[in-house]
A and B are shown apart, each in its own frame.
Chain A
């Protein structure tokens, strides 16, 4: 799992530019016929005769988009997804063509004045002409940060949501034939507004929806109050801003975790949303839930999670895929 996780998290894939992640995932699932839809969602099916369950994990990560290149060759940019500008000074970015850059900050009187308008990217170009050989206005970049292994805990950029992609890949690799019809969808553009999952859900038209995604924790010094913590198991979501988990799905997930001795915790998230937010509103409605992976320092360059929680999330997803649902 760690090796796969490393490859997935290190891949370039800001919202709308998920190609490289999609190629890695396709290569991991050679036994399947895969389909890529109009928006770029990767759809992988395991046929079955009973309920159709759509599992989704988004491939995209937050990033930036270039809005201007000045005479000296410095780039100005805007955010793609929920980026905190205070995380950025001194960070590094990578463009699709491999061009690297560092984020600089104009001289400010006080640090609280910092906004995205004070930040720029330096790609080492001497002037605009040289910069434009490497980068154009409208190009996307992701942040970079190496994968580090701290034992049970691992750290990288884009754990949100490549960790769930890894779980979904493993699910499709390891799941035996089931009664249920399983559709794994690796979605695009979640970070900019749950966009890929919306069209995928329309196309798949499932009986049940399960999103796999990371969630915040309350287990760090002076953290917000939240029960979820690293190493305590897969989190079964009760609510966030996009979803009230369908009671049948929530209860079924709890029942399956209990029956199979899968460590789990309940998650009540006071903000944010996941693909399940749009899946459950597709067509005439889809009972949906979320299996969450607890993750510290979300949307930073060093998102941390516990691989035991990943294993628990995988076990719970497998149990749901095999479950006899009404």
Chain B
């Protein structure tokens, strides 16, 4: 599996190239056709000529990040988030900026210099800056341009049985999709790696319009809140209890037959599968389901703690189970059709 490589690759919304290039290399030997559309969505096509329902499997390539918005006279960089980032996770984090991977750190006033009331306040994007070691504006401008994007520098690692890294949302889904390209199915399958999900599900709509599938499954990384400070009834998903299927979120109500079928297949094959128990957030499924005359669509996701932060934690077995369940599901659809 390429989870480590894909997690460490850099690809903020609209700057997905590094991730796209990597995935293209991984899938090329396993699919009949690879192409990219005008927005940057990457498609791998397998069994186009086969009979049976046309299945689309989708995962978004990009991650949340920061965009440089101005360069101060003293050489420090101001920025805004691209996608949903909690400013509280940013202070003191190292980042890489732009194609050249310029190193920087997110700075804030040291504790010694803070007034007592400042110590109780959360620093917002207006208070934070990136320090790239430039002595003034001119020196900074040689290294970084306004509009460049920054990513966290997290190196993939292990925490006991769990993995830690950045961008599991949605490189976990990308990893699953890459693995699935290696398998043979008795129906046409379109593996679609989408762009710009984090800024408003933008890539997936045109992709679904192009593919015009009979059915779509979106593979994701999703929130897990099985941690301190949350009552059990507020848990979204739990690590290690298998992938999570969303019956409903802000963007879509999963096709009811699909949800039932996923649970049946999981049960028959001894694969753990859990409900995502909160209905917050949205995924590419929201726009894919509403493409053209409508597409039966559902989202299955790997639970991730501390999502959208530099230290996302997940259980690799949840990812492996997601791959297996998706495989079984596509076989089932190829055999019995979408309406079953």
Contact = CB atoms under 8 A, between A and B. Distances in A.
B42 interface: no
Residue of A138, A192, A198 with most chain B CB atoms under a 10 A cut-off? A138
Contacts of B232: 68, 70
A80 B253 CA distance: 10
Contacts of A199: 290-294
A322 B287 CA distance: 36
Contact of A67 (B252, B278, B293, B295): B278
A189 B253 contact: yes
Given A65-B279, A76-B233, A17 B256 contact: yes
Nearest to B215: A38
Given A16-B248, A65-B248, A67-B233, A195 B277 contact: no
Interface string B238-268: 0000000001100011011001000000000
B246 to A, nearest CB: 9
Nearest to A117: B234
A68 B277 CA distance: 7
A67 B294 contact: no
Nearest to B246: A138
Contact of A16 (B234, B253, B278, B291): B253
A78 interface: yes
A175 B35 CA distance: 51
B247 A68 contact: no
A38 B257 CA distance: 11
A105 to B, nearest CB: 15
Residue of B256, B290, B292, B295 with most chain A CB atoms under a 10 A cut-off? B290
B278 A202 contact: no
Contacts of B233: 67-68, 70, 76
A258 interface: no
Contact of A37 (B277, B278, B293): B293
A77 B277 CA distance: 9
A226 interface: no
Contacts of A78: 278-279
Contact of A65 (B247, B293, B294, B295): B247
B253 A202 contact: no
A38 B278 contact: no
A76 B252 CA distance: 20
Contacts, number: 65
B96 interface: no
A80 B250 CA distance: 10
Interface in B56-96: none
Given A67-B279, A78-B278, A198-B290, A138 B253 contact: no
Contacts of A138: 247-248, 259, 275
A38 B338 CA distance: 10
Nearest to B247: A138
Nearest to A196: B294
Nearest to A96: B256
Contacts of B289: 39, 195
A181 B295 CA distance: 26
Contacts of A65: 247-248, 279
Given A16-B253, A78-B278, A80-B248, A68 B235 contact: yes
Contact of A38 (B248, B256, B293): B293
A15 interface: yes
A285 interface: no
A203 interface: yes
A80 B247 CA distance: 11
A29 interface: no
A234 to B, nearest CB: 30
A202 B292 CA distance: 6
Residue of A37, A41, A67, A137 with most chain B CB atoms under a 10 A cut-off? A67
Given A78-B279, A138-B247, A189-B253, A202 B293 contact: yes
B277 A67 contact: yes
A136 B245 CA distance: 13
Contacts of B203: none
Contacts of B290: 39, 195, 198-199
Contacts of B253: 15-16, 189, 192, 195
B296 interface: yes
Interface string B132-166: 00000000000000000000000000000000000
Residue of B233, B255, B256 with most chain A CB atoms under a 10 A cut-off? B233
Residue of A15, A39, A80 with most chain B CB atoms under a 10 A cut-off? A39
Contacts of B291: 199
B160 to A, nearest CB: 27
Contacts of B248: 16, 65, 80, 138, 192
Interface string A72-90: 0000101010000000000
Interface in A54-75: 65, 67-68, 70
Interface in B270-323: 275, 277-279, 289-296
A196 B290 CA distance: 8
A63 B96 CA distance: 46
Contacts of B259: 138
A65 B296 CA distance: 20
Given A16-B253, A65-B279, A37 B235 contact: no
A236 to B, nearest CB: 28
Contacts of B294: 37-39, 41, 196, 199-200, 203
Interface of B: 232-235, 247-248, 252-253, 255-256, 259, 275, 277-279, 289-296
Q: Which 10 A-B pairs have the closest CB atoms?
A: A199-B294, A16-B253, A138-B247, A39-B294, A203-B293, A38-B294, A68-B233, A76-B233, A137-B275, A67-B277
Given A195-B252, A199-B293, 4 more contacts: A39-B290, A117-B234, A136-B275, A199-B292
6 contacts: A16-B253, A38-B255, A67-B279, A76-B233, A80-B248, A200-B294
